[in-house]
Structure 1
């Protein structure tokens, strides 16, 4: 029988092979029940369309273009729909809606010794996520910002000092995107392990960690569009088994850094794990740790003490590692956006400086020699808040849709009955440019819109903002990122005068899941007060 089948195939392969492919692609168009939704023609037949679009590194522009052309619901894959209407946010990302994350996210899981390390961000198991988040939620709450501020301030002081030494005093050009990335990484080191990585002091990418994170995201963006490719490439069964046997020793640089930091504090963490964080006061060898305050590693380990049935060693490592990868990249992108739009809009820059200077005169901002602005003072600067919100609006960090899977029974979104199993999502770059929400001038950087809006419109604007995600899976590190941004921006502007090297030239962006900025070069001058 087998011989006969093989003989038939061999004789008619030139007909069988193309017929099989055509049948497969045509069935993709119709079998998911999405044929009525418009979109790029190739996207209806294969996910290769969105894979190659992501490889082009300009997907945020693609999403804006296709929604302008096809409307609020666009088919971007055989089983994928992108929604542009802000009403879809609550329906897709709201609490208890039954949606789960797609296989896009596990592509971003690190691995150690052949074991995947699912993080709060990358896990698709909602029950696991809920248990995990309950363990560490307290470490990221708004009330936790007070003890974290001295750690951020310590790194900010080094950042300002090094900026003066390396750029103001020498007149050298600064790649500001790279420089604030160094800051963001060192802050995460300070917050997580009470130890800066050393980017600022050395003015270099320590151990290639930043380049690794960039290449990691370069991979995750396109591969996440067709996750099966990850199982053939970086997480194939042979490679993972060789790692378990110790025959393929590949540990991410960021993972190795996290492992090294935990190893340095192993004795201290064992005490917390067994007796709780309060036990450190009774141990002489840990007394030196007490003065630096409670960092995130200590809090994650305390969570392990309190929830040993949930919080494992791997989860402590993964949570720390997530801070390095997600916590630094997105904050650096947002800081770059704020500073770029200020420098591109001199009137706005001058107006913000005037608010900061007046706050110093009024005693709202302490007139410190190092020019550092406190978190409390920054919250009393309405124009600063408007500038930051407007930068978030025009340049959110994430440049792809945040994918979710419709529950099996199907659900209604924007009046449309969407079949169960469909991948759906929204793109922040599209939502943040809704004219009926933000006004006709959505492409213009105009912070005043946040101050002029009537209360009802302002609520709608804030509800449409999607830079940190939405719902139960909102970025857990949001408050820490805000702490960094609201402290660095006014502190930097108080201390230096910034000038674009090529003011007539727009920067280049690269969408590798997060939309990084290139060609943002500035000069730092001593500010004339």
Structure 2
């Protein structure tokens, strides 16, 4: 009765009530958490719609750089969101046993199968779940495993070089290099995960529309992740998922279906691995990731199951292709935009082949071990990582309930905090002068102390316990393909005076990177 009476009294003034409630909500957002002392865009103090539309504008990484240069090391990006630019914040926010957890930004990126979310190592916010999952599969991604994966990478690399010769170098046709490199990255993931190229490079096409689906999915996840509740009305709508579980709706993520089909093709073989059959680790083609994930299922039956094996495979497609292709595109683009650096790298490469430091293999492919003997190559790769890291948004974490000190600031519990690699990588006190310029020499001129600090600040793979588990595989691809490709082809921009465009859909992919290739002799004359 009291509620009915209250409604009767307020109903004639509903507009005033609505305006008053909205004003109270906005004021609470601005002042209620004690974050109003931190500078930032005025609208960001009141609502997350500001960062949603900033992400939707597809250049939030540039916004973050600008805001930190205007306002300093701590910037408020939302009513409950702080961005930190000081590299010292990384150890606190992403350090081990600090009590931080991932925010709801990440579950937006869950794949879905039959109406059920597939929380992966990357997307789960449950730290215990993550720790158990990572223990099961960690050995598959260790640096020591690179040797077993190298034959698989070499297989795709040789096909990629051959197809580049056939489709572009011999015909003189222009190549959409970013897309072509993404095809390469996808086929490498196919080899590494299922010992089977998926046909992107051979067919020169987007197999099953996976590349375009992934681009759309990430473009969705970037903005929606700024206001995760929207996902519950859209892709992860509970009614929609319920209908899928009942079989009424057959909607399935193409990437998930793709991985299911690949796994099903190896079902009998993997059943034997589950039962403890010994895997031939001495095989010339190496042991693929599906086999290692299934071995983990045998070794950890209390946790690993078919769904988690599938999730691990799906994660390889999601995270293992886009980021590596972006990194490869960056390396080649910056070299082409800086001919002096391109020439310097070619001199290093050719001279080391000539003097026998690098093995002059018949197929021209550079081994991982040999790539580590090229200091200027390393400088080129690191500088490309620095200027164009794949991830272009905050890696969000939630402050533990008791609150914590970050760089001398007492941050209340429940606050979302994070760092953006695009900001961290442009700290002049770490990387020296002219941080917006591409200059690989900064990695060679730095003294040991400075170099250690520079490497510690690099954030392209994240940091701490949630560092990208596929980091070593990505490095293997980059450090092998770049010198191998440069031995085979001289690369030129189709439009030298035109800069590429970028699209931040959470990962900052490149557009309008069109090139031409001219064959060169892979064997340097003595």
Scaled by the length of structure 1, the TM-score of the pair is: 0.97
Deviations 1:187-234 (A, max 9, x none): 000000011110000001000000010011001000000011111111
- Residue 253 of structure 1: CA displacement? 1.1
Q: Distance in 1 between matches of 2:20 and 2:100?
A: 36
Quote how far apart the aligned CAs of 1:18 are. Answer: 1.2
- Cα distance in 2 for partners of 1:14, 1:277 equals 72
1:494 corresponds to which residue? 487
Cα shift at 1:522:
0.4
Per the alignment, residue 103 of structure 2 pairs with 102
Match of 1:438 among 427, 431, 436: 431
| Structure 1 residue corresponding to 2:496, chosen from 503, 508, 514 | 503
Q: Residues 64-463 of structure 1: matches in 2 within 5 Å?
A: 64-278=65-279, 292-463=285-456
* C-alpha distance in 2 between matches for 1:136 and 1:250: 29
The CA distance in 2 between the partners of 1:7 and 1:215, in whole Å, is 48
Provide the C-alpha distance between the structure 2 equivalents of 1:275 and 1:367, rounded to a whole number of angstroms: 41
Q: Structure 1 regions of 5+ residues with no counterpart?
A: 282-288
Structure 1 residue 35, shift from structure 2 partner: 1.1
Contact 2:371–2:483 under 8 Å retained in 1: yes
Q: What corresponds to 1:286 in structure 2?
A: none
Give the deviation of 1:290 after TM superposition: 6.1
1:475 aligns with 2:452: no
CA distance in 2, matches of 1:193, 1:398: 26
CA distance in 2 between partners of 1:500 and 1:234 (Å): 39
Q: Deviations over 1:143-183 (max 9, x none)?
A: 00001000000000000000000000000000000000000
Q: Is the 8 A contact 1:370 1:495 kept in 2?
A: no
Question: Structure 2 CA distance, aligned partners of 1:196 and 1:115?
Answer: 28
2: distance between equivalents of 1:190 and 1:210?
Answer: 17
CA contact (8 A) 1:50 1:76 kept: yes
Q: Is this contact kept in 2: 1:102–1:403, CA < 8 A? A: yes
Shift of 1:291: 6.3
The Cα shift of 1:334 comes to: 0.2
Contact 1:428 1:465 survives alignment (8 Å)? yes
**Which residue of the partner structure matches residue 13 of structure 2?**
12
Deviation of 1:347 after TM superposition, in Å, equals: 0.5
Query: TM-score of the superposition, structure 2-length normalised?
Result: 0.97
The C-alpha deviation readout for 1:52-111, integer Å capped at 9, x for no partner, is 100000000000011011110001010110000001010111111110100000000011
The equivalent of 1:62 in structure 2 is 63
Distance 2:509 2:9 in 1: 53
Structure 1 residue 271 displacement after superposition: 1.1
Give the CA deviation at 1:274: 1.9
Q: 1:277 and 1:220, CA in 2 relative to 1: closer, same or farther beyond 3 A? A: farther
Cα distance in 2 between the residues matched to 1:223 and 1:521: 31
CA distance in 1 between partners of 2:14 and 2:155 (Å)? 69
Provide the rounded CA distance (Å) in 2 between the counterparts of 1:521 and 1:168.
13
Deviation string for 1:33-56 (max 9, x for gaps)?
111111111101111110010000
CA deviation digits over 1:125-152, x for unaligned, max 9? 1011011000000000000000100000
Aligned to 1:32: 33
Q: 2:15 and 2:94 mapped to 1: Cα distance?
A: 47
**What RMSD over aligned residues (CA atoms) do the two structures have, in Å?**
1.3
Aligned to 1:512: 505
CA deviations over 1:329-356 (Å, ceiling 9, x no partner): 0000000000000000000000000000
The secondary structure found in structure 2 opposite 1:399 is coil
Following TM superposition, by how much is the alpha carbon of 1:527 offset from its aligned partner in structure 2, in angstroms?
Answer: 2.1
TM-superposed deviation, 1:31: 1.2
Please report how far the alpha carbon of residue 369 of structure 1 lies from its aligned counterpart in structure 2 after TM superposition: 3.5
Report the CA distance shift for 1:242/1:87 in structure 2 as closer, same or farther (over 3 A): same
Q: How many residues align?
A: 521
Which residue of the partner structure matches residue 284 of structure 1? none
**Are positions 1:525 and 2:518 aligned together?**
yes
Conserved in 2, the CA contact under 8 Å of 1:43 and 1:76? yes
What's the secondary structure of 1:369's corresponding residue?
coil
SS at match of 2:275: helix
2: CA distance between counterparts of 1:403 and 1:194? 34
8 Å CA contact 1:343, 1:349 repeated in 2: yes
> Does the CA contact (< 8 Å) of 2:151 and 2:285 recur in 1?
no
8 Å CA contact retained: 1:59, 1:400 = yes
Deviation at 1:275, TM superposition (A): 2.0
CA distance in structure 2 between the partners assigned to 1:111 and 1:5 by the alignment: 45
- Residue 72 of structure 1 contacts residue 84 of structure 1 at CA under 8 Å; is this kept in 2? yes
